[in-house]
Amino acid sequence: MARVIAVANLKGGIGKTTTVVNVGAGLALKGARVLLVDTDAQGNLAMALGVQPRRTLYDVLVDGAAVDRCVLEARPGLHLLAADATLLGAQPVIARRPDWSRVLAQALQPALGAYDFVLIDSAGSLTPLNVNALVCAQDVIAPTTIEHFSVKSLDLLFTQVGRVKGGSGSIRMIVPTMYDPRVRQSGELLSSLRSRYGALVAPPVRVNVRLSEAPAHGKTIYEYDPRSRGAIDYALLVEHISKTFGYGAAAQAAPAPVARRPAPAVAPPTAAVASPRSASLAPSAESCPNCGRSLQHATLAGYRVSYCDHCRYKTQVLARER
């Protein structure tokens, strides 16, 4: 049965859609069966993945169409139930129903057996569909930029999740996005986020222009620029999410198929698409040059990233044939 995760924060422009696309694509690269659900009428998920859906969430919620007839396979193992502006018309229809907050949960239920993860992208305002997303999800991942107002908006999210779900325990992770380590205030805010929310705070995703360019090309960051900081940070976030939600223990024990194949001299943009099971995490005998602890490895889209869980040291090289 799928783990249903809402990616939510009641603020726009803070990296929710970017996180859904690149975490979803990263999990699919690890071999997970992933469904992305767009509950934002802006329809950014389809654009970011470069696909044009014929049917959307509107058909599911208003016309009662089955989910499996409305999803499209955006990449191997990565399905999308898209949205577009018609979803604006769905909100008043849903709001009139007596069970209005469970409409999405009921619609998705028959499809859950086909996936390991369902990631729900949400709008940055308190709409009936946002409430539906929270009701439907077991867990919430909350991206936030490292800025004063964004960090403050987390309070509102905790209150909202508390109201909808009777407690804020389903907020399982806070993902700092657009983190700029060169800006002193960013470092201070990240420290205060960590001291307030402790282990809920995931490794940050740094600000990276490649992440903002990729959607215009309809590509995930692993396809658009797998060497970029954005690709490394999202690959590490995928590993963090896999560990947190207990996915991929088998993948950790066995080397991933891609590790046995020759790596291209320069990873082609489609490499990530062509190798659906191309990421793994394995413990390492190598030590961190900063603090001497054991390094971890993630292999993603043809690159082998080594990183230290303790001091956050990271390095990446093209994956080599073993």
**Structure-block tokens of residue 108:** 């998705």
**Three-class DSSP category at 156:** helix
Where would I find the H helices in the chain?
A: 16-29, 44-49, 57-61, 67-70, 87-95, 103-108, 128-136, 148-165, 184-197, 209-213, 221-224, 229-244, 249-253, 271-274
Residue 150 binds to ligand ADP (criterion: CB under 6 A): no
Q: Does 207 bind ligand ADP (CB under 6 A)?
A: yes
Q: Which does 14 bind (CB under 5 to 8 A by kind): Mg ion, ligand ADP, none?
A: ligand ADP
Q: What is the DSSP string of 174-236?
A: EEEESB-TTSHHHHHHHHHHHHHHGGGBPPPPBP-HHHHHGGGGT--HHHH-TTSHHHHHHHH
215 binds ligand ADP (CB under 6 A): yes
Binds 177, which of ligand ADP, Mg ion, none (CB < 5 to 8 A, cut-off by type)?
Answer: ligand ADP
**Structural element, H or E, at residue 305:** strand 303-307
The yes or no reply on residue 22 touching ligand ADP (CB under 6 A) is: no
The single residue among 49, 202, 211, 288 that binds ligand ADP, judged by CB under 6 A, is: 211
| Contact with ligand ADP (CB under 6 A) among 111, 205, 232, 263 | 205
Q: Under the criterion CB under 5 A, does residue 177 sit at the interface with Mg ion?
A: no
The residue among 103 and 221 lying less far from ligand ADP, judged by its C-beta, is 221
Angle formed by the axes of helices 128-136 and 148-165, nearest 10°? 70
Tell me if 278 sits within 8 A of 258, measured CB to CB. Answer: yes
Is residue 212 near ligand ADP by the rule CB under 6 A?
A: yes
Residues 121/95/110/2 CA torsion (nearest 10 deg): 30
Report the amino acid identity of residue 134: L
**Closest to 70 in 3D by CA, of 104, 100, 101:** 104
Q: CA-to-CA distance for 207 and 179, rounded, in angstroms?
A: 5
172 forms part of the interface with ligand ADP (CB under 6 A)? no
Query: What does 215 bind: ligand ADP, Mg ion, none (CB cut-off 5 to 8 Å by kind)?
Result: ligand ADP
Choose, by CB under 6 A, the member of 24, 124, 226, 248 that binds ligand ADP.
Answer: 124
Residue 205 interacts with, from Mg ion, ligand ADP, none (CB under 5-8 Å by kind): ligand ADP
- Is residue 16 a contact point for ligand ADP (CB under 6 A)? yes
For Mg ion, the binding residue among 6, 11, 17, 307 (CB under 5 A) is: 17
Query: Which is nearest to 49 in space by CA: 229, 295, 276, 216?
Result: 216
Q: How far is the CB of 44 from Mg ion (least distance, A)?
A: 5
Q: Does 264 bind ligand ADP (CB under 6 A)?
A: no
CB of 238 to ligand ADP, least distance (A): 15
Quick one: which segment of 153-161, 182-190, 209-217, 219-227 binds ligand ADP (CB under 6 A)? 209-217
Q: Rounded CA gap, 169 and 137, in Å?
A: 12
Query: Shortest gap between Cβ of 230 and Mg ion (angstroms)?
Result: 16
Q: Which does 22 bind (CB under 5 to 8 A by kind): Mg ion, ligand ADP, none?
A: none
Distance CA 191, CA 7 (A): 22
Residue 211 interacts, among ligand ADP, Mg ion, none and using kind-specific CB cut-offs from 5 to 8 Å, with ligand ADP
For residues 188 and 186, what is the distance between their CA atoms, to the nearest angstrom? 5
The verdict on 14 binding ligand ADP (CB under 6 A) reads yes
- Does 13 engage in binding with ligand ADP (CB under 6 A)? yes
Binding site for Mg ion (CB under 5 A): 16-17, 44
Binding site for ligand ADP (CB under 6 A): 12-18, 44, 124, 177-178, 205, 207-208, 211-212, 215, 230
